[in-house]
Chains A and B, each alone.
Chain A
């Protein structure tokens, strides 16, 4: 398996524009996580899905952020409108359910978002 695949790797956009980050989890994994990493706040969980259903989105900072998982092999994180303070590295991770043997979170390479 190629691992968790995120696109794009880098995104530079102007304030006010819509940004869509994409993630393809590892095949067979039933949990998917979106994290945001900044120097100030470290690694923050934004939202996670189990079996394509959003379970906890309490980490989503504002209504400008939304996430979807239309099927088991694809998820998006959208920011509309984007603001400079959204600049960060966004990670997607996937895993098997707890108790399913070698459970761990597999991370993608991250998307570095810069909003100017």
Chain B
């Protein structure tokens, strides 16, 4: 079975600080993509960052970076210099062959001024 686990339902961080959201997954597939999506109060789902499983180098997008540990099946998201606009629900997800997307239950992040 394919599963995605986000063990932190809620987190908070002071503005300008760094926060890390955790995600673990389980799959027997060898070829897959990993994603972090952000859902602000507007409820629009926005892609934050993407990682191909065959790439060892961790993906980065400006203030967002991941720590991808393939053997441990771990895919955490680090947000540096947190901003008020980062307040949102964050979903970890992965895509396997057959085009099936699996999502975690989400982590609600609040950035405190």
- A residues contacting B by CB (< 8 A) are 30-31, 33, 35, 42-43, 45, 48, 50, 55-56, 89, 91, 93, 95, 97-99, 102-105, 107, 109-110
In the complex the two chains form, is A43's CB within 8 Å of B100's CB? no
> With A107-B44, A109-B43 known to touch, is A93 a contact of B98 (CB < 8 Å)?
no
In the complex the two chains form, is A105's CB within 8 Å of B101's CB? yes
CB of B78 within 8 Å of the partner chain: no
CB of B13 within 8 Å of the partner chain: no
Closest 6 CB pairs of A and B: A107-B45, A42-B105, A31-B99, A43-B103, A104-B47, A105-B101
20 further A-B pairs in the complex, CB-CB below 8 A; given A48-B101, A103-B95: A30-B99, A42-B103, A42-B105, A43-B105, A43-B106, A50-B99, A55-B99, A91-B45, A93-B45, A95-B95, A95-B101, A98-B32, A98-B33, A99-B31, A102-B50, A103-B33, A104-B33, A104-B35, A105-B47, A105-B93
Question: For A45, what are the chain B residues with a Cβ–Cβ distance below 8 Å?
Answer: 100-103
CA distance A14 to B43 in the complex (A): 24
In the complex the two chains form, is A97's CB within 8 Å of B45's CB? no
In the complex the two chains form, is A98's CB within 8 Å of B105's CB? no
CB of B91 within 8 Å of the partner chain: yes
Instruction: Give the nearest-CB partner of B97 in chain A.
Output: A98
Question: For A91, what are the chain B residues with a Cβ–Cβ distance below 8 Å?
Answer: 45
CB of B59 within 8 Å of the partner chain: no
CB of B111 within 8 Å of the partner chain: no
CA distance A102 to B44 in the complex (A): 20
CB of B19 within 8 Å of the partner chain: no
Size category of the B interface is 20 to 34
A101 CB to nearest B CB, Å: 10
In the complex the two chains form, is B91's CB within 8 Å of A43's CB? yes
Chief secondary structure at chain A's binding surface: strand
Interface pairs (16), CB distance under 8 Å = A30-B99, A31-B99, A45-B100, A45-B101, A95-B95, A95-B101, A97-B99, A98-B96, A98-B99, A104-B35, A104-B50, A105-B37, A105-B93, A105-B95, A107-B37, A107-B45
